Amino acid sequence: MRNRDSRLTIAGRELSGLRAEKTILLAIAIQLFIAAFSSFLVVGLVSMYDPGSLGGAEVEVAGAGDAVTDLERAASEVGGASVTRYEDAGAARLAFDRNAADAVVVANRNDNGGISVTVTAPDATVETTVIVVQLRDLLQTYERQERADRVAFLSESPLPLPERTGTSPYFTFTYTVLIPVLVFLPVFISGSLVVDSITEEIDEGTFELLRVAPVTLGEIVDGKALAAVAIAPGQALLWLLLLRVNGTPVANVPSILVLMTALTTLVVALAIAISALAPDRRAAQFLYSIGVLVLFGGATAMAGGPANAVARLAIDSADVTTTALVVAYVGIAGVAYVGVRTLVAENGFEN
């Protein structure tokens, strides 16, 4: 009973000290703002994630070459792109230089029957990204038409082209970028809190005062870890509820919270280990940042990485493998924390 109370007392002390952490509070406030106003913020965020989602942008293309007729046919199927034919490449580029066209596309047939396309687009202007996206769609449509026209002349059937998908960029961005970011940022914040808390206690000498009290070093570590781990799922739950209020349903919220709590525990264990090895605050934060990048970078490279698991859970497309991965993360986090906690309890922190 005493051990439990001492851990809760230390955890409460850590939570009450968060008011002095202005950087952490600012990060939480930014996440709160994004989650609370996601219904209209996502429009602007998607425009950076996928400029082609903006729509409504009209791009005038100056076309030239002996294959420009097929380019005009492709433009008729691409919204926002129109092709004006010019006598030659020189005339098309002259129109571009005079701002009569947004880009130049010169399409010529080769002696071997292929088509060579040369594109000229503005360099480093505000409109460049939108123009390039529209040109990409135009040339992809051009390629599809050429493949379809030539399939009858091939001796062997080519691989079928993938079907065009009607996936909304808003849906893709929300569930593969926005939700994982809102879920994982509290994880990183919790680890950073632990690093700051432990190294600050060591620097200011207050760590020794805590050890004079009737608590063990393990209980001190548990209290600090409990505070850091507890606030992460609370933040994530609030963000997900605010997304739901803004019209973005999220499935399997309990499973997502279990996953992110496990990851928070794993990151907190990493933070405790780094604080024990490098009690200097700046060095510890630097090593923690590198460690988190390596940890999550490696996990992201895996097919069942945390971000992928969260996205699949959020859209209710998780399978048995996803569930097994969540259980595996819980097990790994538990083993990692017990190992680090035991090591620190036996050897203490360097002074």
Same domain, 132 and 108: yes
Residue-averaged pLDDT of the chain: 78
Same domain, 145 and 232: no
CB 228 within 8 A of CB 263: no
Residue 136 lies in a domain: yes
pLDDT over 90 at 261, yes or no: yes
The pLDDT assigned to 266 comes to 92
Largest CA distance in the chain: 90
Pull the structure tokens for residue 151.
Answer: 């399939």
Q: Give CA–CA dist 204/207, Å, rounded.
A: 8
Q: Which of 110-114, 139-143, 287-291, 308-312 has the lowest mean pLDDT?
A: 110-114
Higher pLDDT, residue 303 or 140: 140
User: How many CA atoms lie less than 13 Å away from 59 in the CB half-sphere?
Assistant: 29
CB 13 within 8 A of CB 193: no
Same domain, 99 and 6: no
Residue 335 lies in a domain: yes
Parent domain of 251: 2-36+168-347
pLDDT class for 1, splitting at 50, 70, 90?
very low
Higher pLDDT, residue 11 or 47: 11
Its pTM stands at 0.65
Number of domains present in the structure of the chain = 2
For residue 32, count CB atoms less than 10 angstroms from its CB and return exposed for 0-12, middle for 13-18, buried for 19 or more: middle
Residue 240 lies in a domain: yes
Residue 42 lies in a domain: no
Q: Kindly list the distances between the CA atom of residue 172 and the CA atoms of 46, 108, 177, 293, 311, in Å, as whole numbers in the listed order.
A: 9, 37, 8, 24, 10
Q: pLDDT tens digit string along 211-222?
A: 666 677 778 888
Same domain, 309 and 341: yes
* Alpha carbon of residue 130 to chain centroid: 22
Helix (H) or strand (E) holding 105: strand 103-109
